[in-house]
Every structure is written in C-alpha cells, then in structure tokens.
Structure 1
Amino acid sequence: MGIKRSFLIVVVAMCTTPVLFAQVRMDGFAFSPKLGCFHMANHSDGVGLGGEFQVRERNNLFSLGYYEGYDIFMRYPSQGPTHSVWLMIGKYRGERLSRLYYQIGISPVWGRKNYLIGNSQDIITQNFFRMGLGMQVGYALLVSRSVGLGVDMHANLNTEGCMYMPMLSLKIGRLRRSLQRE
C-alpha cells in the first residue's frame, strides 16, 4: 500500500503545483473513452478499455489515463483484469483538422496472474505490481471544435513484460479554436 500511496502523492503534487502558482495557461482539454486490443508479454491477450483526460498548453500535451485489460481467451480460470494508470507528458502537431501526438511518462501496472504447476491441473495465483515506462503515439481527426476520432498505440515497458494496446478513441472537449476563413 505504501507504493500506491506514494505514487498518488506524487501525481497530486505534479498536477496541482503549477495551478497553485498560476503558471498554467490551458489551450484546450479532452476526455477520451478508448477501446481496443490488449497484449501483455507472457501474460494475456484480450480486450483493453479505459479513459484518458488530456490538457493542451501551447504545443505540450499532459494526460492522465486509466486502462484495464481483460483476458478473453481464459487460459486459466478466475484471472482478473490487468490495471494500469498512465501519467504522461508530450507534444502534438496540428491544430486545424487533424493532430499527431506522442507522449512518454510513468505507468504502474498491477493485477493477478495464474500459473499451472508443471503438467498438473493445479493453479497458483500471484498478484503483481510493476512500475513501467509508458509511451503513446496517436493520430486524431478533429471532426468539430469539440469532437474528434482517434487511433492510439500504447506501450508499457516494465519488468513483468511489455504491454501493448492499439486503441480507438472518441475525443470530447475543447479540441481546437474556430476555423477562420482566410
């Protein structure tokens, strides 16, 4: 519990310190529900879902996301979902009709794994928690000022095994300024 509490304190401090000193000039924000595939090396394959909150400031992008991966092949019974929280910072290109973005940050992953013992049918369940390096690359088509459709590729590098999630997203929020006629 100590690692999770420490992580939460660091996240809150990082998010609130610039606001307290009035240093943030927010250009836009978006909430993005996401759905896609989930693959964790030596662990599971399945469906990934979650959400992300993004804040734009100049050409910088700050985001906080939560994702779950569900094993759809059920290799072992009662294997729970794999959880991950993503705290990332990055850049984006494009302001008008489309946007390309890339981010990097920290991403803890936790969940439960099941192992077979030798050739028998006995199963050992083990909980795990790993801190990882999270990376995201994405492309969004900005349909209007407040709605966009996106495709993202998430990767988490940690000691338990690499996790990959290609996802589709719906972006809702203040995505761009009004298009002016030139």
Structure 2
Amino acid sequence: MIMENIKFKTLCSIVFILSTFISLSGQERKLTINGFYINPKLGIYNWVEDDAGFIGGVEMNVLKDKFLYSADFYRYEELVIFSPTPAEYYNQIGIMMGKFVGDKLFRFQYQGGIAPIWGIKRTKLVKEGSGILATDYYENKDFFTIGLVTKLGFKIIPTRFLSIGIDLQANINLENPVYMPMISIEIGKLRNKINEP
C-alpha cells in the first residue's frame, strides 16, 4: 500500500513538473508547439553486466523552437534464461528537457531530467543450485529511488511524420543505476516540409 501511494504521488509530481515546464516556456511569447510525437522504444539494459535484460516503453515528446520536452515510461525485464530466481524487474517514469539540432533529414538530440525507478531486486542468496541447468534462489526486496536521467538521440527523418533512430539513455541513481541503448521509432509531427522555412 505504501509503495502504491509513492508511485501515485510520483506520477502526479511528474505530470505537474512537465506541465510547468511547458507553461513557463510560453509565458513570454505565444505558446506555439512546433511538433508532437509518440516514441515506442525497445532495447537492452546493462548489456555487459551480469544483470542484463530487455527494456520496452513509450515516450511522448513536444518540440518547441529548438527545445524538446519528454515524458516516458519504461519496463525493464531481466533476461531469464538460466538466471537466478526471482527474476528482477523495474519500472521507470521520467521527465526530461533538452535541445535538438537538425530540422531536415537528420536530428541529434540531448536531454536530461529526473526519473523515479522502482521494482524488485534480489538480495541474499538462499539456496545455491547444483548442476548445469541449476538455478540459484535469492531473497528479494521492493525498492524505490529517484534517479537523474540523460539521453543522446540520433534520428533519421525520411518523412515529416516518421523517424527511426537510436537512443542512448542512462538512469543514474544510488540503488540500481542502469544504461540502455534503444531502437526508437517516432510517429507524429516531427518537422515541416524540407523546402519550408
């Protein structure tokens, strides 16, 4: 119950902060959104570590001038082939703000922000498995922490409403730092026609 309450308060805080970013950026001049798109992603996390796994999620983005505002949700699932029991999993909700360069066929973007991360993590070894296909059994704990997130993105934009690219993202926190390369597909209003100003 306490964990669900924390998750709800975190989600409300993120929505409030994101709406504040957008409203403050439009205080001095008319709020004109240059683009809006949804961005499903799929990738791997901690791929050179023992706790590697898959990540999937979605990101919503707003373009205003050369600024980029984002809100995202990701689900991390540990690779479970011959892995210890229980399998670890994490959830992340984040908000980021940054800039982008490129309005034609290619775009580079960089962002930073905050992202709570929570889930189940293994702790103490309870029983060690024996044999080739044996599984080790661990105690586990629920955790919740706030992390700083950074992201670099490289996109190819063949049409005004579709792009494909790679995002390199990290969540730096005290409990469970993760890094993840992801394939990114953006769908929405990404740019104007190339011959438009």
TM-score (norm 2): 0.82
Residues 1:54 and 2:49 aligned together: no
Q: Deviations over 1:134-176 (max 9, x none)?
A: 1100111001000000100010100013201100011100000
Q: Choose which of 13, 18, 21 in structure 1 pairs with 2:16.
A: 13
2:124–2:138 Cα contact (<8 Å) kept = yes
Residues 38, 110 of structure 1: alpha-carbon distance in 2 compared, 3 angstrom cutoff: same
Describe how 1:137-176 pairs up with structure 2 within 5 A: 137-176=152-191
Please report how far the alpha carbon of residue 40 of structure 1 lies from its aligned counterpart in structure 2 after TM superposition. Answer: 8.4
Task: Report the equivalent of 2:114.
Answer: 106
CA RMSD of aligned residues (A): 2.6
The letter of the residue matching 2:184 is S
C-alpha distance in structure 1 between counterparts of 2:176 and 2:47, whole Å = 6
Q: How much identity, in percent, do the aligned residues show?
A: 30
Q: Choose which of 66, 73, 78 in structure 2 pairs with 1:71.
A: 78
Runs (5+) with no aligned partner, structure 1: none
Residues 115, 95 of structure 1: alpha-carbon distance in 2 compared, 3 angstrom cutoff: same
C-alpha distance in structure 1 between counterparts of 2:88 and 2:95, whole Å = 23
Runs (5+) with no aligned partner, structure 2: 129-135
Task: Report the equivalent of 2:139.
Answer: 124
C-alpha distance in structure 2 between counterparts of 1:43 and 1:160, whole Å = 16
C-alpha distance in structure 1 between counterparts of 2:25 and 2:49, whole Å = 45
Please report how far the alpha carbon of residue 43 of structure 1 lies from its aligned counterpart in structure 2 after TM superposition. Answer: 7.2
C-alpha distance in structure 2 between counterparts of 1:56 and 1:117, whole Å = 48
Q: Residue 26 of structure 1 aligns to a residue in which SS?
A: coil
Task: Report the equivalent of 1:4.
Answer: 7
Q: Choose which of 175, 178, 182 in structure 1 pairs with 2:193.
A: 178
C-alpha distance in structure 1 between counterparts of 2:123 and 2:16, whole Å = 38
TM-score (norm 1): 0.88
